[in-house]
Structure 1
């Protein structure tokens, strides 16, 4: 593999795509069809984005049924392999800057690029609690997927944080493995669908810890209870020992560390019907945007729309 160019060797192109999930791949395919020169980057040079961490089946994408996110990633890799040798370059974008009517992208590990337009398709990552001990325990006694890790804790006591669909669904999956599940929630105003709430409330293996409960620290435990949770329960400190803590508190957008101020909603980038952001020439597509539904289907459509809007802006259509 060739070493990246020196940071002073700036590359000029018409469009830059940042991200290689379904939205980024769709944008790349459409830019190719419109004849728009572009450069394409993803953090690791691979495709799929957050799909690498989706363990459940994907059955609501028209024309395809996939056993997991990784199965879909394999299909996406095969698709990209047919794109006339076009594939994302491994580079971590650090800054996006607009100057003299052009966008300038700098990377931690690649040459800077200037372009007339940018399509931001950087997706999301799972939110974490941000408490002491969490980073050290992640992948050991802290997990973000009951589908991937639940079987390992069959018959043991575990805890789940998350009052939305993902939190409740993870609790149900753990109960299917015979786990005794504590739900650690801030209040009883659940965001999960009523169907999930009813099933959780009726399951004898799942119990709600007293409201409000907040995890404030995670420490190593002993024996089967490898995870010691320091809790704030209605202002009182309590300890809870479990085999594992499952954290499912939603997702957050992945954005460059330095970029112009954009209109956002809840941290997600606001776009119009052409996927145009509040900054001229900067388009965004997929889960990074403030869209009604985050899914493979909507990301693919948004990536295609962003590509056409960029092609129109650049005069290729």
Structure 2
């Protein structure tokens, strides 16, 4: 999305609305998008910043932009309207990538871009509930038309489940203390607005801890957002589907902003770029060679200049792989994609 942040900031701190690592993303995708009719799937369309740059830099290519947020689709569609039928917007979650391609009659594509996290537009709209610096309804749904809200999570989850959400997704040291306080306070009055939750966090988190590590609500709001939108579950489903979707020469580029996201991307890319041959096999037959190769060396980060210009780039980790041979039905990525699609067919939790 454009841009993306790992925390729950309010998007009104003066940071520029420029896509993170824009030039590098275009540089990585461009070699795969030179042929006439090449297709990029921007699975996290947001405000369309990455897609706009690709359409300008790669005049032979077209973009399929996926976003679960109807408002983002509308704004990106207006922005990209000048490109005519070179842009197609689709309202869906990115873990429905395979279904979207089926609906469009696309057997393979030439690139997939995933820029994970929450977009500036969502942060800037106080009524969406992502902001902790202003009182707003506790919503946090990236698609406000469906699914449970952050208020639903706060008011219905048992203390043990709340603790797990806060500790896993927010890496919150005081997760149990916060969860117990939420359960206690909601018996008096359900949580409906961010202001009351922030007040509780100030009361519960010890003063020395509040003075370090940024705003004391940052980790809780991040954790709630990731739980409400099933962000890690969706990522686990989309990664194998994206790897399977690209044809030979196609590339998958992912920007992540959270250690758990980057770990999932690293694992998926490692499986796709590792031979399935036994380690002691003297000669590896072609069908056991990996179908993908790494394009980046590990995870790339934004330089100091971009971090100073756009603070939201501080935590980005960028990884990219390229398909060098067709996948076989027995390949790990193919099997993983099939399993993920089966899980996804039951819907996100």
State the TM-score, normalized to the length of structure 2: 0.29
Q: Point out the structure with the larger helix share.
A: 2
Q: Work out which of the two has the higher radius of gyration on C-alpha atoms and give 1 or 2.
A: 1
